[in-house]
Amino acid sequence: MKIKKLAIVLMLPILLTGCWDNVDLADINIVTAMGIDKAEDGKVIVTVQVVEPAALQSSSSGQARGGSAQPKPVFVESYEGETISDALISMKSIVDKRLFLSTIQVLILGERFCKDGINEALDFLHRDYQSEYLTDVLVAKDVTPEQILKIQSDMEAIPAMYIKGTIENTAIRAKVKRTTLIELFKDIKNKCRQVTIGQITKVNEKTVKTEGSAVFKDGKLVGWLDQYQTRGYLFATDKVKSTIVNIPVTNGKMSIEVSNSSGKLDVEFKNGEPAKLSIQVNLEGNIVEYIGKETLDSPGNIYKLEKILSQEVKKEIVMTLNKAQKDYSSDIFGFGTVVHKYHPHYWEKVMDEWNDVFSRLPADIKVEAKIRRAGLIKSPMMKDE
C-alpha cells in the first residue's frame, strides 16, 4: 500500500511540463548570426547564417573527402515576411532543420529597417525564449545585412565568429560602441537616453570593419558617428577601458595608451531650469610611442604633454556633443538620467521635449589627463650627444 502511494507520488511530476522541445543537436540548424532588414515594400527580410558543423570539422581537420569540392562551413539564407517571426517560420520551406536561435553571436540591423524605427519592431527578440541576451547588435552602414553575412573571412571559418572577434577588440580600441541585445532593450525602454549601436561596414568580400556608431532618436536612425566621435562619446559616458590617443608634439608625433579613464555627466540647474551641461573626464595614460627630438626627463615636459593630451580628448568630446546637439538633437549621452534622478519634477514636465532642451544647452567640458609611465626608455631614439 505504502509503495503504491509512493509510486503515485513519484509519477505526479510527469504531469508537470518539463522541457518539451527535445531536439537533438544533430537535428537543428545552429544559427550564428542574424540580419534584419526591410524591403522597399515594407516587408521584413530576415537573413540567417547557419553553421554546417560537419563541413567545419572536415575543413579544420584538413580531411578532404573523396577529392570533391570542400563543403562550405556556413550557409546564408534570407526570407521575406510580414514580421520577423513570420519570416523565420516561413524560412522553414528552404532550410532542412529547425533554426536554433540561442547560439546567435551577432545581430545585424539594416539601415532601412533602423530608419523606420526599431522600438516596436524588435518585439519578437524580446518575447522569444530562445533569444540570447548577450548577442552583440550592430547596424550595417551602406550595405544590407545579407551582404555582410555573406562575406567569407580567411581568419575564421564562421563569419559570425569573425565579426564577434572584431567587436571584442573594442576593449582595447574604444572606437565602436558595443551594444548587447539586453542593453539595447534597456535603452529602448529608457526615456532618459537615446539608443546608440555600433556600426559595421564592408571593406571587401573578405573583410568587414566595425568602427563608429549609429545614432538613434526615438527609435529611428538619424545619423552616424565616426570613430573619433564614437571615442569622444565613450570617454564622456565612462565606457573607455583602453585606447590609443595620438597627440601632436613639437617636431613629431606621440601615441599615448589610455589605461584608465572615468567620465561623469552632470546638468547644472539655475532657477529651476537647466543651465549648463557638464562633462568631467579623468584619464591616465602611458607613452607607448614617441617620434620626436625632445627628451622627456623633466616633470615640466610631462606636464606639457598632459595638457596636450587633455585638449586632444576634449576636442573629440566637443565634436561628439556638437554633433549630438546640432545635427541629431538626440541625447545619446544620457544627461536625461541626471535630470530624472535629481530633478524629478522638472523631468515630468520636460520629458517629451528633453532632446530639444538638451540641444540648446551650453556645455562645460573638463578633461584631466595624467601620464604615468614612459616605457623602458626616457629619451627618443637618437644618437647620444
Partner 1 sequence: MKYIDNQPNPKNRKKMEENNPPKLKSEEQVDLTLDKEVGKNLEKFKAFLKDSSDVVIREFSLGTQSIPCALVYVDGLVNIAVINEQILKPMMYQIALLETSLNQPIQPDKIFEVVKLHALTVGEVKEVKTLDDAFLRVLSGEVAVIIDGFDKILIANARGWPQRGIQEPPSETVIRGPREGFTETLRVNTALLRRKIKDPNLVIKTVQVGRRGKTDVAYAYIKGVASQELVEEVERRLNQIDVDIFLDSSQIEQYIQDNYLTYFPQIEVTERPDKTVASLAEGRVAILMDNSPFALIVPATFYQFFQSAEDYYERWILASIIRLLRWSGAILASLTPALYVAIVSFHPGFIPTNLVISIAATRATVPFPAFVEALLMEITFELLREAGARLPRAIGQTIGIVGGLIVGDAAVRAGITSPIMVIVVAITAIASFIIPSYSAAMAIRLLRFPFIVLAATFGIYGVMLGFIILNVHLVTLKSFGVSYMTPQAPIRYQDWKDFLIRLPSQIMMRRPTSTYPVDIDRRNQDPVKEETQ
Beta strands, E only, the chain: 28-38, 44-51, 74-81, 98-100, 106-109, 136-140, 179-180, 196-202, 208-217, 220-225, 243-249, 252-270, 273-291, 363-373
Q: Which of residues 208-247 bind partner 1 (CB under 8 A)?
A: none
Q: Taking CB under 8 A as the rule, does residue 8 contact partner 1?
A: no
Q: Taking CB under 8 A as the rule, does residue 105 contact partner 1?
A: yes
CB 354 within 8 A of CB 270: no
Q: Alpha-carbon distance 56 to 34, whole Å?
A: 19
Cα angle: 321, vertex 307, 172; to 5 degrees: 65
**Least Å from the CB of residue 102 to partner 1:** 3
Task: Give whole-number Cα distances, 312 to 12, 228, 250, in Å.
Answer: 69, 11, 15
* Sign of the CA dihedral with 242 first, then 248, 251, and 252 last: positive
Q: Taking CB under 8 A as the rule, does residue 19 contact partner 1?
A: yes
Choosing from 39, 54, 155, 171, the residue that interacts with partner 1 (CB under 8 A) is: 54
Q: What is the DSSP letter of 206?
A: S
Q: Taking CB under 8 A as the rule, does residue 103 contact partner 1?
A: yes
Choosing from 72, 82, 123, 130, the residue that interacts with partner 1 (CB under 8 A) is: 130
Q: Taking CB under 8 A as the rule, does residue 85 contact partner 1?
A: no
Q: Which stretch binds partner 1 (CB under 8 A): 48-56, 173-181, 305-313, 363-371?
A: 48-56
Q: Taking CB under 8 A as the rule, does residue 51 contact partner 1?
A: yes
Q: Alpha-carbon distance 323 to 359, whole Å?
A: 10
Choosing from 102, 119, 262, 298, the residue that interacts with partner 1 (CB under 8 A) is: 102
In the complex with partner 1, the residue whose CB is nearer, 49 or 144, is 49
Residues in a beta bridge with 100: 30
Cα angle: 186, vertex 178, 88; to 5 degrees: 70
Q: Which of residues 248-287 bind partner 1 (CB under 8 A)?
A: none
Q: Taking CB under 8 A as the rule, does residue 7 contact partner 1?
A: no
CB 101 within 8 A of CB 132: yes
Q: Alpha-carbon distance 215 to 8, whole Å?
A: 60
**Least Å from the CB of residue 189 to partner 1:** 24
Choosing from 7, 24, 62, 360, the residue that interacts with partner 1 (CB under 8 A) is: 24
Q: Which of residues 136-195 bind partner 1 (CB under 8 A)?
A: 158, 161
Q: Which three cell numbers stand for residue 380?
A: 627618443
In the complex with partner 1, the residue whose CB is nearer, 23 or 275, is 23
Choosing from 116, 132, 226, 257, the residue that interacts with partner 1 (CB under 8 A) is: 132
Number of residues that bind partner 1 (CB under 8 A): 26
> Which residues in this chain contact partner 1 in the complex, by CB under 8 A?
10, 13, 18-19, 21-26, 28, 30, 32, 51, 53-54, 56-57, 100, 102-103, 105, 130, 132, 158, 161
